[in-house]
Structure 1
Amino acid sequence: MDDVHRAGVPGVYAEVRDAGRTWRGASGVADLGTGRPVSPGLRHRVGSITKTFTAAAVMQQVEQGRIRLDAPIGDHLPHLVPGERGRKITVRMLLNHTSGIPDYIPYAFPSLQGLPSGPDASGRSLDDNRYRRFSPVELIELGLAAPPAAEPGAPVGVYSNTNTLLLGELLARVTGTTAEDYITRNVIERAGLRHTGFPTGPRIKGPHSRMYEGLYGLIDPPRDYSVYDMSWTGVGAALVSTMEDLNRFYDRLLAGGIVNESSLAEMQRTVPVRALDGSMIEYGLGLHKVVIPGCGTFWGHDGTVWGAGTLSLTRADGERRLSVAVNLQRWNKPDASGRPQRHPIDDALLTFRREALCGDAPPAPAPTG
């Protein structure tokens, strides 16, 4: 963990659990201006880890018969996804990102188009939207108006925050309350989480770190975006939590304490999905599947918002769990071709995650041939 800090991350903090033992650690600073140190219990914007909470809420409604996974979304939200598109796209496709609906973020933040080194790319939109209050419908309409990313039900999905905001509107329609309220009562409280919730304003309540965004070198030095109106992402990525709460949440979820066995099996049926950074991931219904050779299969999610990054993974047997947060994002500057360069932070984080998740497991064999 100290190596992650020395590589350039201001602050990193984590909790690791293994067979009844718990380790908590932190390295670095929460505030570059004052030198205030980070500590393991800080609250943090956990980004798209929120999607697992939202997916679990949807699966609860599936269990109660109010939602069918393979029902067209147009049956529930014809005003948002009308016509043939609404008939082709199912609830399952929104959950596993095979709907073909593109992400709205490049349109809500127009100066981000062409990242990391496009001619007009800049961080201007981040400042323009710091206190802007978006509505979910406004953002959904931006995504739906953009050229489709793929055909509905394509064998390879395309990750999109628009999908999750549509699921939030679906939850509101079938429960008669806001998605945030439903998730709070039926997922967060059911899991026994004490420091997790949706923000009610731009500031985080309780002890937390500042959160520094580099935007691939476009913001240099990185700027603090810990104060930010999170309506730009809502039930897709707005949750604030702690590393202890995240480990508790995935433990309860994967042990059947949030959804039933049948729902969990559906959540763990994966398809290949192209992530926002272009990488390929195995994605279920709000869950990532991560296989580490020589170590095991893990379930969980990662998340990033401006200045904050988080990863939470739990081994399939439930014994080994890691939740880790960093207070710097998009530290990789582009090379001459415009591609983000690998940074020492990447290698330090990879080493830390391997040690935290695998402990004494032998390293994966080197490739041959």
Structure 2
Amino acid sequence: MKDVQKVLDWVVAEVGVPGIVAEVKDGGRSWFGTAGVADLETGAPRQQGECLHTGSSGKAFTAATILALEAEGRLSLDDTVEQWLPGALNVNGYDGNTITIRHLLSNTSGLFSTGLAPEVAQRYATRAGFRRHRFDAYTLQDMLKLAVSQPPVGAPGERFTYANGGFHLAGAIIEAVTGNSYADEVETRVIQPLGLADTYVRPAADISYPDPHPKAYSKMFFKDGTDLATLTAENWESLLEDPGLAPMDVTEVNSSGAWSAGNIISTTSDMIRLVDALAAGTLLPPAQHRHMWTTVSTEGGYWMPHARYGLGLFEFDKQATGGTPLRGVAGSLWGSWFFAIGTADGRHTMAVHTNTEWKSWDVLFKLIHAAFGLTIGA
């Protein structure tokens, strides 16, 4: 794993990440490496077993829970949103009778990209705004209202657009079908069966992490004076603040607005176990496993290059990997970027976390090359 360690060192030295960890499992062997620090003030190193925010990787838990319910005959992926949440989508140009659960989980519902909503940008997009709103809590009604606060970007099934709101609706459907909380259903249907001892859905009021955990640092803010009404999927990177500014400690934050779109706390080891099971099909019955990995193109969706999206997870286009299937999850939140990627047989998997947000796809692709010997896009 010398090549992986070299990339970790490069990420800290050249990309500007405070600290990074990587865990690799290959058959019966495992390796763990770090670079940088968990705390910029004390210089404490990153370590194995840290509790981490996995961001949108949590979408896989939501999709797996829905598919488990389908396997029991409790619902169908082709059920409409209107069937389970009457009236929830019948506003602002949406039609809950034409959007299905499958559309929600594959990000093909036509819902707009929730993270670009003006309400979100106004709260968190600048340092001053983040300081004012970092402990704001969201209710389910807040999230469902936000999901339809902008008009559709397309017809159901027409195109891929990454929309947290679709997964919030899926979480609400889980609760409507079962009568139980989203957290309880994820615990029962995913966490317990896989023995994920250090994984949980973060409670709505929680703003901290169990020990050990790294501090989280962010520089993902827009310049002071930016007109947030002009924010689009095309121009957002050009509006970011001066990269030379010192990072902000964002370790303590209320992330309840992520909920069923990605509010899972876990470890690299637990997430490797999750990806192994979902990639290889050992958690879900064969029919649901096929549903999960029936993928759609993400081209034009302003998302990860060379990837196709299934239900809550992604798979790299086989043309980009030279024919070797690689499957995984990924997510970024304030002060955190996580991804776990592995082969389709579940034998070779890597999990990586940085204690700052996504900075470059080069980090992901260099680590894939080092761990798997594959050059994405070559």
| TM class by smaller structure | 0.7 to 0.9
Report the secondary structure of 2:96's partner residue.
helix
Report what 2:118 is aligned to: 107
Instruction: Give TM-score, length-normalised by structure 2.
Output: 0.84
Q: Deviations over 1:216-263 (max 9, x none)?
A: 435821212121111111111111111100001111223333211110
Report the secondary structure of 1:302's partner residue.
strand
Report the secondary structure of 2:201's partner residue.
coil
Query: Which amino acid counterpart does residue 62 of structure 1 have in structure 2?
Result: E
The answer to whether structure 1 residue 50 and structure 2 residue 58 are counterparts is yes
State how 1:1-369 maps to structure 2 within 5 Å: 1-7=8-14, 8-82=16-90, 85-105=95-115, 106-111=117-122, 122-154=126-158, 156-200=159-203, 201-215=206-220, 216-217=240-241, 220-273=245-298, 274-275=300-301, 277=303, 281-291=307-317, 292-294=320-322, 296-331=324-359, 347-358=362-373
* Partner Cα separation in structure 1 for residue 96 and residue 377 of structure 2: 47
Flag the 1:258–1:125 CA change in 2: closer, same or farther, 3 A.
farther
* Partner Cα separation in structure 2 for residue 278 and residue 254 of structure 1: 18
* Partner Cα separation in structure 2 for residue 144 and residue 36 of structure 1: 43
CA RMSD of aligned residues (A): 2.2
* Partner Cα separation in structure 2 for residue 195 and residue 135 of structure 1: 25
Report the secondary structure of 2:95's partner residue.
helix
Alpha-carbon offset, residue 29 of structure 1: 0.2
Flag the 1:349–1:99 CA change in 2: closer, same or farther, 3 A.
closer
| Same amino acid, percent of matched pairs | 30
Unpaired runs of 5+ in structure 2? 1-7, 221-239
* Partner Cα separation in structure 2 for residue 202 and residue 289 of structure 1: 32
Alpha-carbon offset, residue 364 of structure 1: 7.4
Conserved in 1, the CA contact under 8 Å of 2:104 and 2:170?
yes
* Partner Cα separation in structure 1 for residue 285 and residue 130 of structure 2: 40
Unpaired runs of 5+ in structure 1? 114-120, 332-344
Instruction: Give TM-score, length-normalised by structure 1.
Output: 0.86
Conserved in 1, the CA contact under 8 Å of 2:106 and 2:311?
yes
Flag the 1:365–1:13 CA change in 2: closer, same or farther, 3 A.
closer
Query: Which amino acid counterpart does residue 187 of structure 1 have in structure 2?
Result: V
Alpha-carbon offset, residue 80 of structure 1: 1.3
Query: Which amino acid counterpart does residue 173 of structure 1 have in structure 2?
Result: A
Query: Which amino acid counterpart does residue 109 of structure 1 have in structure 2?
Result: V
Alpha-carbon offset, residue 79 of structure 1: 3.3
Alpha-carbon offset, residue 357 of structure 1: 2.6
* Partner Cα separation in structure 1 for residue 74 and residue 17 of structure 2: 45
Query: Which amino acid counterpart does residue 80 of structure 1 have in structure 2?
Result: A
